[in-house]
Chain A
């Protein structure tokens, strides 16, 4: 299957297969009305028509790509490294966003701040609690990516992250009462 070694041909094939699957299964199962529906005595365009047009266009463009690449030489576009990198970045996001979400609530629970019955939710507009998650999560996010980009592990990188997070707090939270930093809109 020399044909499949070409990433562009693979992409075309993938577009065609995805488009057909979506048209056959996803669109009919997950829309409230058909391509057209009869309501109030008249036909009108249903919720399935626009996605059906979009997926048909996807199939068409996949076929066009297969036709375009039939005579072109193979290029190595995607490597193992791209997949490893994607996995790594998703891991960094998962860890730092989790730190953002749970640092504040955990600190409140451990230190028992705010008296009985009060949790992080009640303290989400109170300094310093409301900044804890953003500061820790933000600095680990920035720090981890600097480490990744420079292929070195340094404490300095995380301090840069902390400085960036503090700058964001100065920019958004101090002047404006109504703006919420992560994670304070989720609790």
Chain B
């Protein structure tokens, strides 16, 4: 125990006694603190800009950070500080475009639009933003505490239970769950999933023949992830909005306009009514986050749908439901997806396995700089000498706690100041969003072909919306399809070519059965 405490103290010291970046009134300001603040503000701004997202900003800034700080051990904490700042800021900022413009920058923020945007339409955007900020930072804080406490134990247990066939079955279960739960029809959810899988399988085979490309050379590395995801999620939404404006169609729920005459901002009782949702969703987010490979989108979906069910059974006859613009809907989603980010670092730090894109960039940073090798050796308290990686790990925990502090204080103010974009009319803003999104994609992919891919997926997203097919299962399937194929391949090869490899373990069988039962039950019900 005394070792643990001394390591925590060493971690705190590592942050505050790091080389100063500059001095203020004679006191040196340690580089990690400056970078954390810069990262957080960048993250909020990026998250609040429709078309930009945290991982994108992390991808762009990592090479810059490494050229500024070099690859010495001193560089670890400042670089992690900036990336953690972006991660935390973007989680908070992501709610801004979702609430104000109905344009989710990330798949998770999509659920936030359902209740957040109607509140904006009713003239209470600030109340929605404050609720989102409070829920998000609460979820994040809970999650970080879970991380600090559980990191060494939980991850080792999860990993020891799941072998390759169980991992395959887990992905199948996640996909069937998403398809069955999202949207009005199980069949449309499954169409969305299968098209997402098909798109992901273009040119991603194992052989040297790039499959399903029809010989098109520009597709020889498949559809770029960023182009496909931003195309379906953002361009599709922009196209649909511009179409509606062009046809003079007012957005749904427009009749709610100006229905809310009370002043904007938090109201008495708001915090009390959302607290149970924050609590439930934070736990869901932590649990989902601790599972390797299952990211924040599932947490947001679960948090929202469980919160919705709970709310429906509890609410009075005159109360509004989820989706009609109520604080509970925002809280259930924002707390869940924010609660993933801390817990997600459990498998990353103790096993080196990322659960989401943000975690991937932390691993890439560790990999590029060196001196920190995420994996079981990190949590070795018993080493005869001081274990420098454990010091870094507690330095990261310290940075996360400080990040939360910043988020609680200046984060909310900065986030709401991003709402200045709400004054720009949509018919001007959305075309600008189009250009920002396309430019961001180009900066990553440096090819006009990638822009056409994004536009193509945008048109697909447009018709999905017209035909009332949910786009989220498509995006999740697109992201998970690769891991599904790879783990299935590995499980098959590891079994030496056993055709029944998926059905040899009771855990895998249970998960597969659950996947089938979910689809059957919900298809009959809906």
Contact = CB atoms under 8 A, between A and B. Distances in A.
Q: Do chains A and B touch in the complex (CB under 8 A)?
A: yes
Given A44-B497, A151-B246, A50 B191 contact: no
A148 B246 contact: yes
A172 B481 CA distance: 32
A104 interface: no
Contact of B201 (A32, A54, A149, A172): A54
Which bucket holds chain B's interface residue count? 35 or more
Contacts of A48: 211
Contacts of A141: 431, 434-435, 438
B466 interface: yes
A58 B477 CA distance: 13
B190 A47 contact: no
B68 to A, nearest CB: 12
Nearest to B491: A45
A82 B434 CA distance: 19
Given A31-B205, A32-B208, A172-B443, A42 B434 contact: no
Given A32-B209, A165-B435, A43 B497 contact: yes
Given A61-B187, A172-B443, A54 B246 contact: no
Contacts of B485: 45, 49-50
B523 A51 contact: no
Interface string A19-46: 1001000110011110000000011110
Categorize the interface residue count of chain A.
35 or more
B191 A168 contact: no
Contacts of A165: 435
Given A65-B188, A78-B466, A146 B214 contact: no
Interface in A42-97: 42-45, 47-51, 53-55, 57-58, 60-62, 64-65, 67-68, 77-78, 81-82, 85-86, 89-90, 93, 97
A60 B484 CA distance: 19
Given A32-B211, A42-B496, A183-B448, A60 B205 contact: no
Contact of A176 (B64, B185, B481, B526): B64
Interface stretch (B33-41, B237-245, B285-293): B237-245
Contact of B211 (A8, A47, A168): A47
Interface in A167-181: 168, 172, 176, 178-181
Interface in B424-438: 426-428, 430-432, 434-436, 438
Contacts of B459: 86, 89-90
Contact of A61 (B190, B245, B438): B190
B477 to A, nearest CB: 8
Given A32-B207, A43-B497, A64-B523, 4 more contacts: A50-B488, A142-B431, A150-B245, A186-B447
